[in-house]
Structure 1
């Protein structure tokens, strides 16, 4: 397959969570071809890379949708994210959260992407698939997916988002650092800096972080470190985020003030999980919190 150009032209993103004038992608008005549940592939950095697309059931090529990337954790797969197995909710529970807010009659508001990470010899992860982003090749994958998807489907280019757990959170953090002009917001779930942070000094982007105070894989200190970069980048008023006591079975949500781009941080009582729950609750609040953060940016 011919290699795709990675150059993407994007309009500058507005800084405040107010209604935006949508920027429709070249795929708007076209009959879509990316309609299969099977994997699509691209050649990036000489390697074949797979990705999957989830369209709304009532997809309309005349309507510009949000585009949301969902990255798997170390050792995980895109298929697990899609199916909601091995500790994941399907697509991190975001389509269900969208439906709960929008109502069945209004239709879904987003297109979803799940890509497959690579096995590599990086210090973190070794031979398990992840997002080491060696020489920027995972950023290149995202660039190539954006070009392919937006040429075929109707995407609001002012409303690109990314989320992921653990190594998937690290990849979303890397996008916040190095692709802040292309993404409206990211949600980093128990993430770290393993995918790098090139270009992350002073580049603002809306940032949601979620981390367990007793995380034994990626310690809470990493969650604070990632958050604090965007507290600074986004010009927020610096303050101590409230954190729950270990064993309390609760979570604490801090919304920073004075930011050019919103920053929210959820600290929860728990270990390394994408689906924290309070006390005896039988459902996680993570999808609703992520969706609330993403959907504060109204589409017009």
Structure 2
């Protein structure tokens, strides 16, 4: 197990829920919210880390309410981190339409953030994972490609992407979720105006329009499967009335899984927050948990690090 420099600390850590940290990256002041589990106060030992990227216009604080990764981090004893994007309408410079974004400022930020977290906390460097919603799912896919040497597995929700210009040949385990009736990012892709409406408070709402041109999510996952050295054929299994699990025959350590939510919207499965904005995002299923079920997949994957 490869330990981060923070593991050299003599004293246990101080637990905290979504504590803000500030750091400079590329000459720009950035921040993230960090949840340190209570277990870290009991012993200094390497723990897994989940980076959870917010969606377009959502922001780190609101997304933490949606995904509830802080609650799971406390229960399971890992670190959960919610980075903030840039702009008045918070977003990530992630690739769209099957091509990487040539502006890698956010990739640099994630790299700087990982360095900061590794210095401040005792992290298992082989158990670093990424997840996120919508534009955050695209950012999750981006780091899965460009930072395959830092992340062990990714779990994009409602926006998985594969980039044809991805330079990495390293397999990346993927657990993706998408609804067949997503009104913002259509299941089968295409061009459209995406009206992202995210509740920012009790009454506030912000509308944003973005043009996207993608191949669709079944195609994106098929491309990930090909990248991971999996078979071209897949097997669909009806897990529940609203859930189809699509799997490819993949080499060990390169599992590629697509959880299809029948009639699902642009939402985080089992999220009460998603349910509260159903008028904007559509149906949220309770037959899959976008946090716990994804974590069960992520935690099984570890990156082998040569410490020589």
Q: TM-score range by the shorter chain?
A: 0.7 to 0.9
Does residue 174 (structure 1) correspond to residue 142 (structure 2)? The answer is yes
Does residue 264 (structure 1) correspond to residue 257 (structure 2)? The answer is yes
For residue 240 of structure 1, report the CA deviation from its aligned partner: 4.1
Distance in 2 between residues matched to 1:33 and 1:109, nearest whole Å: 12
Distance in 2 between residues matched to 1:206 and 1:164, nearest whole Å: 15
Distance in 2 between residues matched to 1:193 and 1:299, nearest whole Å: 21
Q: Give ranges in structure 2 of 5+ residues lacking alignment.
A: 95-100, 189-215, 272-282
Match of residue 201 from structure 2: none
Written as runs of structure 1 = structure 2, the 5 A alignment for 1:214-233 is 214-221=181-188, 222-233=216-227
Please, what is the CA RMSD of the aligned residues?
3.0
Match of residue 279 from structure 2: none
Distance 1:236 1:208, change over 3 A: same
Match of residue 103 from structure 1: none
**Runs of 4+ off more than 6 Å:** none
Q: Give ranges in structure 1 of 5+ residues lacking alignment.
A: 1-21, 100-107, 120-126
TM normalised by structure 2 equals: 0.73
Task: Answer yes or no: is the 8 Å Cα contact 2:35–2:70 preserved in 1.
Answer: no
Distance 1:198 1:33, change over 3 A: farther
Does residue 95 (structure 1) correspond to residue 73 (structure 2)? The answer is yes
Match of residue 273 from structure 1: 267
Task: Answer yes or no: is the 8 Å Cα contact 2:127–2:302 preserved in 1.
Answer: no
For residue 281 of structure 1, report the CA deviation from its aligned partner: 7.0
Count of equivalent residues: 253
- Which one of 106, 115, 128 corresponds to residue 89 of structure 2? 128
Written as runs of structure 1 = structure 2, the 5 A alignment for 1:134-153 is 135-153=103-121
Select the structure that is richer in strand.
2
Secondary structure of the equivalent of 1:28?
helix
Match of residue 8 from structure 2: 29
Written as runs of structure 1 = structure 2, the 5 A alignment for 1:132-211 is 132-133=93-94, 135-193=103-161, 199-200=166-167, 202-211=169-178
Distance 1:267 1:241, change over 3 A: farther
Match of residue 246 from structure 2: 254
TM normalised by structure 1 equals: 0.75
Match of residue 16 from structure 1: none
